[in-house]
A and B are shown apart, each in its own frame.
Chain A
């Protein structure tokens, strides 16, 4: 009997190997330290690059590569020192509207980038940076929507001239409307029911009044939560983009959390300030001339011609979360304007209010949560710092309603600058619900580099030790196992670099190291089985074949169960647990391939075609054949 693989199998292995090498090689190209210069609202032009070059020359610094592209200006530097000094020099030379961010620029050849071969993403623990876990206040989102509904119900009933004995919001999912007669109620009900498909209506009699209960369904609340999270994530993404960080991560985690990871950012306080620009928007009407004092609040409005006060009605026409898109543009006469798009319900709401109020003024309030630190005296008479939070409400737009508004409308009469600013303010305010930071970690660049170096050294030493041991213990077969082991590591790196958008973290490296230890297990199983078959008196070729065959089910069972564990870890785990399970899963799959198919191909190449094969170099001399005596 001979052992050989069909040509296609050998080719497949060769193919996998070439791909593996190709896609893992980019990791060997070191990145250049770079600076990314962007502007808050404008595109950068050649003049900006010239300014920067002049500033660098003045500071006696030189960049080793410059690029002006759609995302700004990229400047490469030789070393971290140059990079940091250049950052200071450029920041001094440019106005505050420019954002100068530390970055790393790849140096892989263009054709590699073209076939999608790139570097592995390193986790924060390996390169330093800031990690935030933000929790979205879902209750607030639901409450906001219900408040919205409340004021809509009120205005519809007023429009229909149906008198009520009061409206109350019982809780965030329940509005109660009281009527004097069941007749009023049924009239109101039939009108309201069409306008609020997301609410459930129920009649109730209590205290001699006819009550109408409007409740939000579970489905609607779920939908609101889902939309809210999505909306917040988008807003965060925009804000993070404004930070100019290379490869930021903004990901949903669980039902109500968002992970933000900013590699390379070293000033968490600044990052928090930008991310925490928690703001919401509200659209109101200006209060009419004779309105009672309790129905409006007064705000300062900063207009080009000066500051004046505006009385803003308390009823909210529209919440910011109804806004789907905002952008500055030009009208047909080339005059600047801000274009606002709403979702369907938002369109209905604003239409209902504005069609009866053409000619009145509409106001947009931006509500931001800010913190201020003050010194107070505590009960022990000591001075302590106290951080308190307050709502900063600002009137950002005061414009006349010229016609009934719909899903798309524009705010005109602005200068270009105002249009730009207003559009930015509105989009920053469309965060659907407030968020708080529940977890935060800052990893300094020193620590990151140390982790990476130590991790890599761990992998190297572990690999060398295991390779040496296998070679000494299993000789030629050990050689095959070692080749498979190296190929396995190459494949894991290739998969991590290109196939999966996975991020390599420290636990991930540990996962790889562990796979190195466990990957040889498959080979140990096969080789001990071959030895056993030799001892049982099988001739070498048959022993090889039987060894591989018999060990296969065991290997499959063992790896499948471990894989199941890794899947469980991946599904429920977060952070380090997830990073570990990803590399473990990849490692199990690649090691099954290399340890079974890969080593078999090599063993076949070495021994497979020799008819006169008497002995195998598999470590120990097999016990003398027991001449078929079982």
Chain B
């Protein structure tokens, strides 16, 4: 093999990388614990009304009009452009579930009518949402559960297809990517909603893809390069897959940036979460997963379990 040379000695920096990852994750966990996430309506429950103005939305005027009309707790924020606003109304804890929904439907119309009359006659009601407290809670639960189930199934699959140490590596890498992305959301205070949750789940898929490709190569090289040290084998594998890792990350990022710039407000959170996830996922497939495998002292013997397609491995056992 002529390309078993090591162009970049990734593994030399693995201790530094491990430290950096650890620090980043500690910061993420710290921020999640102290600051938490800026949950969107999907999780917090309440009513949200989206409005479009014919010119730049006068937020202050809107605020004072709403206050006068009795919506004291309303929060008015821009979304998308300076002509679009969102009015957030928290849930009234005393109100009955049934009438809340009915009120929410009317609230949107009422607010639009009020602003049309007092602020800007060209106000268009883009839409309104209402989420009850119960549904919000359940969604958060479901999302967390989904992530755990997904991680569990992946761990099992990799343990069967590869080896247990690889599945630990993959899952640690995934957890690393998820925590990192969540940490970014917590630190920047960006809204965390259902779309962001979907993005997190997509990150699992993406980051896993990367890790599997690298692991596949490590497995192959452990079987064919018999006299090479484990660390060197991992290094060679990383170099061999580097081109592919970079190109795929690049094309995916191309796509994500075009969603971010073109896709409008509704997909912004999704795109940002995935961009962070793809970058950190690329990093983690190189440093986190491989590092864990080396840390767990992977040996050639680990991979000589007669996996179905391992014809060469069978030869080595005799």
Contact = CB atoms under 8 A, between A and B. Distances in A.
A568 B255 contact: no
Contacts of A470: 251
B96 interface: yes
B240 interface: yes
Interface string B131-147: 11011000100110110
Contacts of A584: 202, 205
B101 A272 contact: yes
A269 to B, nearest CB: 5
A514 interface: yes
A458 B149 contact: no
Contacts, number: 246
A564 B153 contact: yes
A284 B178 CA distance: 60
B71 interface: no
A207 to B, nearest CB: 39
Nearest to A254: B138
A441 interface: yes
B247 A447 contact: no
B201 interface: yes
B192 to A, nearest CB: 13
A630 to B, nearest CB: 6
B254 A465 contact: yes
Given A276-B102, A389-B96, A557-B161, A458 B263 contact: yes
A483 interface: no
A461 interface: yes
Pick from B158, B202, B256 the residue with the most CB of A within 10 Å: B202
A230 interface: no
Contact of A630 (B2, B149, B202): B2
A181 interface: no
B247 A389 contact: no
Interface string A552-584: 011001111110111011001111110011001
Nearest to A520: B251
A451 interface: yes
A454 B126 contact: no
Contact of A564 (B130, B157, B202): B157
B264 A439 contact: no
Contacts of A580: 198, 201-202
Nearest to A437: B101
A387 B251 contact: no
A568 B146 contact: yes
A116 interface: no
Given A444-B127, A532-B3, A564-B154, A455 B267 contact: yes
A536 B198 contact: no
Contacts of A558: 208-209, 212-213, 216
B111 interface: no
A446 B96 contact: no
A300 B5 CA distance: 95
A554 B251 contact: no
A371 interface: yes
Contact of B105 (A133, A272, A517, A629): A272
A460 to B, nearest CB: 9
A438 B135 contact: yes
Contact of A462 (B126, B212, B248, B258): B258
Contacts of B309: 553
Given A439-B130, A565-B208, A569-B201, A371 B3 contact: no
A562 B209 contact: yes
Given A269-B102, A276-B98, A574-B139, 9 more contacts: A389-B98, A438-B134, A462-B255, A462-B259, A528-B244, A554-B212, A565-B150, A568-B146, A626-B2
6 contacts: A510-B263, A514-B274, A535-B2, A554-B216, A562-B209, A576-B195
Interface of B: 1-3, 50, 52, 96-99, 101-106, 108-109, 124-132, 134-135, 139, 142-143, 145-146, 149-150, 153-154, 157-158, 161, 194-195, 197-198, 201-202, 204-206, 208-209, 212-213, 216-217, 240, 243-244, 247-248, 250-256, 258-259, 262-264, 266-267, 270-271, 274, 309
